[in-house]
Amino acid sequence: MKLYLFDPDLEITEGLLEVTTETATQTNIFGYVQARRFVSFLDPDGKVYHPQNPKSIFALTNWRSQLVKITDDNGFITFKGVILNISTEDSNKGVIVTLECVSPLRMFITTLVNYTNVLIDFLVNGIVAKGQTTVPIKSGVETVPQNAIFSASTEYLPNYLVQTATGTPTTSITIDRQLETALADNDPVFFLTPETVTIPFALKSLLRIVADEEYLLGGFDLYDTSEGAANRKVIINIRQEDNITLQQAVPLLEKMSGGRFEVASYADGTFDLIDIFSVSDIVIPLAMSELVRPIKCFVDDAALSPGAIFYHETGTAVASVLKTVSQDALNSYWAKLKTEDLEYFQPQGDLKRLRSLLHNSETTANYYAQYHVDNYGKPLLIVTAYCLPTLAANRDFVLDMKRGSKFLLTINNGEIDLTDRAAIVQSASWDSAKNLWNVRFRIMD
């Protein structure tokens, strides 16, 4: 095992003591708690790393949020994160330095999202007085779309809604209220317009805030291609003044997929996009020979929904679609509720976000709403168990046990009877005392 700090890498191999994991679920940080790592190493006389020594590396370096990377003996990354805190302990062997490390996401989840397209090649054509609502514009070839956001500031504040745009290219615009400040001839002005992209593409774009391209795995591009071919896209126009953080934006887009797509973040710093209920490519079996008691099975109805309402664009207006579960399902799960008491799943939420996020068509809204109803219109079956790190029949086959991994699960122990059921790993943490995985599966079929 090797520890690397900062960029360029500072390698620490001498005196490296241990890496421990906080007893929290190692899983998707969006909506879940992600485990912290504690890395301890020996600084014999406290002169090299002790942060209170004015000549030490940590005293001379702004260590907060700096890169930490841990590899195994073969050079494979087992953890990549950033330093959150440093503590020291004086021992008989010398000073023990402990780094508290977290995923890079923990440092950026409150970042405000600015996801919009900016048109920049426009100038004011003449002097425009304060209080005016018509602004003459000159440009090269660009045409301003209706409902774009107009601003004369590089901060895009104050801004105004474009009610009408005249000319091709645009020569004049009418805005929704009076100008707060006068504009001079040839002042540069800006227009913010929505981006129309697939949900996988949008999620990957957001994660570029915290991850380089090499750490964004192939699921994003794979599903961007398939969703793009089907023209299933969303219209995004999120600006900083909407006060939508990265932590809010990612789950919001996941929900707009009807729960089909989910981002998974892994200990090595990588991210991937999972198609939650896809079962066609599952080939690896898990049975009683790999599972270790206690094995628990229960129903999770936290995401249970009798229907979904999704909003989409229809030219210049906004419309909605409603998909509901069957009458049989209503009778089974909501028999005690009156129709008016049913709460439908509405991922876009309030009107502010409704203006910021829409499906690009009725077809797209119908698809994702129906997907949600088909998969979340019934309670989900959960199985928790300990699991061997390898297949029992082939000890050389190491199980890829992480969030999003999928298996064919068979449990026949007298109480639970499941045979070749498609299961996805919701969370997996390594129990070093037992040398087993502690896993939570969700049955998908």
Kindly report, residue by residue over 397-418, the tens digit of the pLDDT.
888 888 888 999 998 877 778 8
**Residue 320: burial class (beta carbons within 10 Å; 0-12, 13-18, 19+):** middle
**Residue with more model confidence, 104 or 387:** 387
Please state the pTM of the whole predicted model: 0.78
- Minimal CA–CA distance to 439: which of 424, 421, 419? 424
pLDDT score at 24: 44
Q: What is the mean pLDDT of residues 156-164?
A: 87
The pLDDT of residue 385 is above 80: yes
The pLDDT of residue 187 is above 90: yes
The pLDDT of residue 352 is above 70: no
- Minimal CA–CA distance to 291: which of 439, 445, 442, 444? 439
Kindly report, residue by residue over 231-259, the tens digit of the pLDDT.
999 999 888 778 888 888 888 999 999 99
The pLDDT of residue 22 is above 60: no
* Average pLDDT value over all residues in the chain: 84
